[in-house]
Structure 1
């Protein structure tokens, strides 16, 4: 029996709930791809509506993620893991991201699940893009789980929304993609929770038929995501939430939290 590919289409929705200083909530539909980076060549060959590093109805360009270098994306991610004190063993690296649609994309968040050959996730790279053309990533070890979910935390280092302070803490809670996907990100300050963002999605086999249905149901996904960000910003401004000045991005491309065993060696 042929093993089912790890790569898949995930159909679901994203919600944002802001609690302070004004309550504000919005929700939008989204189709994401889970791409096993070892399967890119096979997907490019087998699918007619999806291409790797080339134009198509749906596409994925390896230079869109990470440092944008010309080397294969998996080798660049593994080099980043090695530099941070992790020890990848050649196991899968699976990327959850929104694809290019007719050559255009914007990804507020892309998530790399870095796995051992056993399939266990040992690190997650949370890659954040803002609407000012800047990018920063948080590379965190998997050291705490609860009920099948991975729990991680780090300090916010990167300006994303002009309505959010930088002095916040992120708490990540993620159920790695299987039949369903759940991601929750809480942003908190010293007084408690400020914002909760969540994504819930269900798996679909990554086929031309599934891609065609996804396009017909949400043909302007990229435009709706970008337009939605702008529209929600207008509504926040009308609610009287002031703008925060945008600081320079961090000098380093990623904030690193190496494994406990290596934290005395990695700075």
Structure 2
């Protein structure tokens, strides 16, 4: 599979405790974890892929992104020997990375999609990966397990709709409590060839995108605070893994 880029639009809609909406532009990579993009040396600072930025390390062998996916599946009793794994994620740009959401589509050796891993990252460096069935355009339900926002507790459940990207990317995640949506986020975009020209072009329209994205999310948190949204304290999370930034 040839790598691709998606020029993305992210929207966030909070319905409770206060109504708040914002959107931002950016871009994401769509890659085969066994065949990560090999860019010219002079361009590598703007697109570097590190296994440490995702999931948990393997118990044995080389620490690669594929090994981390396999370990995550094996820990849950799943094996996909020889199957392709594609991923939607952000690369490190000038040493910094922030992936609010990384998605891995896991296929068996016959090319059939078997599992989807949706990994959520918080701005404080915590992350949690949810293993989902391949529901296509229909959402899959999963219990929320990570404190992400100071205005939302780590309760409720997510509905995640993450069909395989094609010419268009169309992902939706909604947080529900008492069968009512408290928060809805969307990620959509148009596919582009991962050419040198397109990588350079995206550095102009979305410079240092991971850093800007993290700062923008923090700014929205401040905005919610000024709107008197109640602040929810984070409960201790045992053995949580911090994301390396540099």
Using structure 1 for the length normalisation, give the TM-score.
0.83
Would you say 1:29 and 2:21 are equivalent positions?
Answer: no
The structure whose residues are more often strand, as a share, is 1
Q: 1:59 aligns with which of 16, 25, 48?
A: 48
Partners of 1:84 and 1:61 lie apart in 2 by: 23
Partners of 1:161 and 1:27 lie apart in 2 by: 16
Q: Which has the larger radius of gyration?
A: 1
Deviations 1:101-131 (A, max 9, x none): 1111111111111112333321111111112
SS at 1:235 equivalent: helix
- Equivalenced residues, count: 238
**RMSD across aligned positions (CA):** 1.9
Deviations 1:166-225 (A, max 9, x none): 221100012211111110001010151111000001111111111001101111312321
Partners of 1:86 and 1:50 lie apart in 2 by: 37
Equivalence for 2:127? 135
Partners of 1:75 and 1:119 lie apart in 2 by: 19
Equivalence for 1:17? 13
Equivalence for 1:203? 191
TM-fit CA distance, 1:226: 1.5
Structure 2: unaligned runs, 5 residues or longer:
242-246
SS at 2:48 equivalent: strand
Structure 1: unaligned runs, 5 residues or longer:
254-267
Q: 1:102 aligns with which of 88, 94, 98?
A: 94
Equivalence for 1:187? 175
Would you say 1:247 and 2:240 are equivalent positions?
Answer: no
Deviations 1:30-50 (A, max 9, x none): 11001101212xx32x54565
Does the C-alpha gap of structure 1 residues 72 and 189 become closer, same or farther in structure 2, counting only changes over 3 Å?
same
Would you say 1:224 and 2:212 are equivalent positions?
Answer: yes
